[in-house]
């Protein structure tokens, strides 16, 4: 199987293989032998790849892998390409504005049928006492805004849907 890994918004599709001695990470820019061994502290590992030996701390969450190395923490999103395909129901990824966290709708600033520009605020949400404005990911027409002001929503709920782009 393959995985899509997300690092800083960039997606890379990878898969693993093994040459009998070592794992090989297959990426769009080539195949690289690599090795990860547990070491020392909780979550501690040593990574060997592309001529580098790197100490790190590691924790694997349900949707993302978290790595602490050289004083920085990184989150790597994990997506199964097959699941993404199944979950699509006709809509492309940038048609959908998904709740980044659970919260409450403060105000709705657009309605179905509205033509919106990229970056235009569609709705304001509140979570952990902080207000955030969710904006249109591209120019388009609003197809659906399922929530009204005052409604609560869960993580990853669809908060707004743009009509599919016409090619």
Residues that bind another protein (CB under 8 A): 1, 3, 5, 7-8, 10, 12, 14-20, 23-27, 31-32, 34-36, 41-43, 45, 47, 49-50, 52, 54, 56-61, 65-76, 78, 100-103, 127-130, 132, 155
Q: What is the Cα–Cα distance from 151 to 10, expressed in whole angstroms?
A: 32
Structure tokens at 100: 């980044």
Q: What is the Cα–Cα distance from 103 to 107, expressed in whole angstroms?
A: 12
Any residues with CB less than 8 A from the CB of 139 and at least 6 apart, and which? 115, 116, 117, 118
Question: Cβ 127 to another protein, closest distance in Å?
Answer: 5
| Comparison of 12 and 94: residue with beta carbon closer to another protein | 12
Question: Cβ 141 to another protein, closest distance in Å?
Answer: 26
| Comparison of 31 and 148: residue with beta carbon closer to another protein | 31
* Antiparallel, parallel or unpaired: β 96-98 and 130-135: unpaired
Count CA atoms within 13 Å of residue 22 on its CB side.
14
Question: Cβ 85 to another protein, closest distance in Å?
Answer: 16
Question: Cβ 93 to another protein, closest distance in Å?
Answer: 17
Question: Cβ 147 to another protein, closest distance in Å?
Answer: 16
| Comparison of 36 and 163: residue with beta carbon closer to another protein | 36
Q: For the purposes of burial, counting CB atoms within 10 Å of the CB of 38, is it exposed (0-12), middle (13-18) or buried (19 or more)?
A: exposed
| Comparison of 134 and 145: residue with beta carbon closer to another protein | 134
How many CB atoms neighbour CB 51 within 10 A? 6
DSSP-based three-state secondary structure for 136: coil
| Comparison of 52 and 166: residue with beta carbon closer to another protein | 52
């Amino acid at each position: 199987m393959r995985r899509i890994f997300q690092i800083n918004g960039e997606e890379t599709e990878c898969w693993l293989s093994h040459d009998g001695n070592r794992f090989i990470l297959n990426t769009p820019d080539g195949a690289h032998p690599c090795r990860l061994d547990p070491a020392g502290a909780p979550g501690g590992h040593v990574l060997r790849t592309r001529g580098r030996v790197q100490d790190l701390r590691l924790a694997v969450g349900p949707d993302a892998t978290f790595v602490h190395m050289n004083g920085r923490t990184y989150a790597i999103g994990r997506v199964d390409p097959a699941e993404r395909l199944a979950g699509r129901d006709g809509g492309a990824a940038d048609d959908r504005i998904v709740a980044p966290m659970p919260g409450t709708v403060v105000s709705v600033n657009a309605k179905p049928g509205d033509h919106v520009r990229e970056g235009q605020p569609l709705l304001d949400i509140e979570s952990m006492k902080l207000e955030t404005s969710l904006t249109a990911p591209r120019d388009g027409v609003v197809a659906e805004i399922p929530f009204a002001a005052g409604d609560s929503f869960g993580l990853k709920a669809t908060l707004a849907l743009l009509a599919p782009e016409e090619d």
